[in-house]
Amino acid sequence: MALLYYGGGDCAIRKGNVSSLTIYYRGKIIVDSKLPIDYKIELEVGKLIIKPATKSQNLNELFSYIGEFRIKAISAKNMDGEKEHVGIRRVMDYSELLETNAEDLTILSENINASHLHGRKVRRARVLLQTSNEDNL
């Protein structure tokens, strides 16, 4: 089973054979793709679709985001077009789970939060322009 990790402004797939997916979410985000060149991201109301434009490959790093992002469900397919089960893991700083002395913290306690918001709130969801690395050479 693949695992999708999100929180702190990043979203990635670990373990598994996922080549396309649809994320059903709540909130509004600005998305900056980390996908391979052959992939694209489409945003619809409450739905984020990641699919290949030409050839499929296994996905790892998906995107970074700014805004409020709460994943409700995921639908994914593998390289053979078959349904792939994906677990959702939210990565956050939970101050109540810390097993240390306050003096040992490397993060200011004021910066430890358990929010779905990363960065700032945004007015409307959108995907930043996707450019290939070849354009920057």
Along the 137 residues of the chain, how does pLDDT read in single tens digits? Answer: 899 999 888 899 988 899 999 999 998 898 999 999 999 999 998 999 999 988 889 999 999 998 889 999 999 999 888 999 999 988 765 444 445 565 555 555 555 554 556 566 776 666 776 554 444 33
How far is Cα of residue 133 from the mean position of the Cα atoms in its chain? 21
Q: For residue 109, list its beta bridge partners.
A: none
Residue-range domain boundaries for the chain? 2-93+111-129
2-93+111-129 CATH: 2.60.40
Give the global pTM: 0.73
